[in-house]
Structure 1
Amino acid sequence: MTEHQTSERRGCRIIGISQSLLHYRPNAERDIPVIEALQDLAHHYPAYGFGLMFNKLRQAGLSWNKKRVYRIYCRLKLNLRRKGKKRLPNRNPQPLAVPINMNPCWSVDFMSDALMDGRRFRLFNVVDDF
């Protein structure tokens, strides 16, 4: 900004940022106690998610902001791993065998239907596959 002889305020307005962003210095040391506490809890309770860990921190008397703790929790990648679905093995369908003569293979089926007056009836069908 000294090269173009403009003020800091005007330069920030032209670029579209706030002046506080220009002077911001991140303070990573503030997060160190939260990181240590979360890693300790994750080591002792590997099945706990964020909610249970945050409750444990509260019970221990640590009153950090929930959004701050969640931001650090996500940055540490402590999210629970979800178990994937158990996949069924690939099946190779075989063509149906065609019977050569009568009586080696039979098929059965249950059916139900209703008459015009609303009465229901059931059928047990037995069929020779030939």
Structure 2
Amino acid sequence: MVKPAAKREVVKYLLGSYKASIERCCGVMNLHRSMWYYQSKKDDTEVIDKLNELAEQLPTRGFDEYYERIRKQGLKWNRKRVLRVYRSMKLESPENARKDFQQE
């Protein structure tokens, strides 16, 4: 399954390479024209800034701690939104490997 963003790139290529209308190029790629003209309204700069600030203050903590602190500060951001931004920033740290304690 191809995402609309990838289809948009192909339509952009077709428009630049051939003398065809937007309607025709979108039809070839099975992309609705409304999706061609759609512009995302996402602006996550506030979330990114807040997560960076928390990551500098508490580098050993994880997402749950950051999200709890964000909510306590009165910011009403959706958990899924904050998690998406957190993952895109690659703040996830690998889980610490368990150490086997040797008994003597």
Give the TM bin, normalised by the shorter chain. Answer: 0.5 to 0.7
Deviations 1:22-72 (A, max 9, x none): 1233456x2111100011111112232112211211111111122211111
Structure with a larger share of its residues in helix: 2
Deviations 1:59-97 (A, max 9, x none): 11111122211111001111133122448xxxxxxxxxx
User: Counterparts of 1:100-111 in structure 2 under 5 Å?
Assistant: none
Give the AA of the match of 2:28. Answer: I
TM-score normalised over the length of structure 1 = 0.53
Distance 1:80 1:23, change over 3 A: same
Partner of 2:35: 21
| Number of residue-to-residue matches in the alignment | 85
Distance 1:21 1:55, change over 3 A: same
Partner of 2:82: 69
Matched, 1:57 2:70: yes
Pick one of 38, 52, 73 that aligns with 2:51: 38
Q: Distance in 1 between matches of 2:34 and 2:61?
A: 38
- What are structure 1's unaligned runs of at least 5 residues? 88-130
- Give the % identical residues: 31
TM-score normalised over the length of structure 2 = 0.63
| SS of alignment partner, residue 61 of structure 1 | coil
Q: Distance in 2 between matches of 1:84 and 1:72?
A: 26
Structure with a larger share of its residues in strand: 1
| SS of alignment partner, residue 94 of structure 2 | coil
For the pair shown, the structure with the greater C-alpha radius of gyration is 1
Matched, 1:3 2:19: yes
